[in-house]
Structure 1
Amino acid sequence: MSNFLGSHAINMDAKGRLAIPARVREDLAQACGGRIVLTANADEERCLLLYPESQWETIRPQIEALPNMNRMARRLQRLLLGHATPLELDSAGRILVPPTLRSYARLDKKLMLIGQGKKLELWSEERWFAWLDEPADDENMPSEMEALSL
C-alpha cells in the first residue's frame, strides 16, 4: 500500500518532462513498478492527480459506475477518465506530462509534488502557494474534522 507524504519542489523542462524525486520514485517502483496514471483533479483546484496504476485501477470502476445522467457525475467522469493518461517512469525517473494536462493545471517550470497518502498532487508552484494563502472555509467543516485532535 502506498504512503505518499511530504511536499517536493521540482522543475519541468520546456518539453513537459519532470523528474520524480528519488524517495517518491522508490515508493512508486515498489507500489506499481513505476507505472502511474496522471489525470485532472475534478475539484476547483486546477492541479493534477498522480496515482500508482494499481490504486487507479481500484477507483476507476467506481468512477465508471457513477450515473452518467447526473450532471455532476458526468463532469467528474469527463475530467478524471477523459484526462487519464497512463505513464511509466523512464530509467532516469522522469515522466512527460501531456500538453492537455499541462494546460489544464496551468503548469509552468516550477512545480510542487504533494503527497496525499495513496496518491500525489502536481501543482504549479505559484498556484500552490496562492492556495496556501487562501483563508480556510470553517463553515463547511465536516463533523469528522471537528473531532480530530492533532
Structure 2
Amino acid sequence: MFQGTSLLVLDAKGRLSLPSKYRESLLVPCQGEVTLTRHPDGCVLIYPRAIWVELRSKLASLPYSARALQRVMLGSAIDVNADGSGRLLVPGDLRSLCGLNREVTLIGMGNHFELWDQAKYMQFEQAELQKGLPPEVFDLVL
C-alpha cells in the first residue's frame, strides 16, 4: 500500500527519481514495469503494471457514456520501465497535458501514486477542502 507525500523535482529529461521508501514496494513486485496515465483532475497516475492491467479492463468495459474518461485514461496510458537508479521517465506529452513543471508532488493513494505539479496541487487541494468533506467520511472513526 502506497501512502505519504513527497515533494520532488523532475530532472532536465523529465525523469522522476522515486524516493527510496517507495522503490522496493513499487518496483520490486512489478520488476520496474509501471504504467503512467492521466487523470481528469489533471495529475499523472502511476500504477504497477499488474494493477493497471486490471483497471484497464474495467475502463474498457464501461458504457459509452463514460467515453470521456476512457479517452483521458486509456488514451494517455503509456508503459514505462524504471531505470537502474529507480527513475521513471514521464514522457513530454504527458507532462504537457498535466501541466507538470520541474517541482512536483508525489502522493501515495493506496494501490497507485498521483504525480502533480506542486503549485497546481496546492491550489487544487485548497479548493477541494473549501468545498467541505463528503458525508461518507463522517462514518470513519479517527
Normalised by the length of structure 2, the TM-score is: 0.92
Please give the alpha-carbon distance, in whole angstroms, between the structure 1 residues aligned to 2:81 and 2:52: 14
1:67 is displaced (CA, Å) by 1.5
Root mean square deviation, CA, Å: 1.4
Provide runs of 4+ in structure 1 moved above 6 Å.
none
Of 58, 72, 75, which aligns to 2:68?
75
Unaligned ranges ≥5, structure 2: none
2:46 pairs with 1:50: yes
Could you tell me which amino acid in structure 2 is paired with residue 22 of structure 1? S
Aligned partner of 1:16 in structure 2 is: 14
Q: Which residue of 2 aligns with 1:115?
A: 108
Superposed displacement of residue 79, structure 1: 0.5
- Give the conservation status (yes or no) of the 8 Å contact 2:9–2:16: yes
Partner residue, 2:137: 145
Q: CA deviation at 1:52?
A: 0.5
How many Å apart are 1:26 and its aligned residue? 0.9
Q: Distance between the aligned counterparts of 2:89 and 2:5, measured in 1?
A: 20
- 8 Å CA contact 2:27, 2:48 repeated in 1: no
TM-score normalised to structure 1 length = 0.88
Pairing 1:85–2:78 present: yes
1:131 CA drift (Å): 2.1
CA distance in 2, matches of 1:117, 1:100: 26
CA distance in 2, matches of 1:125, 1:41: 16
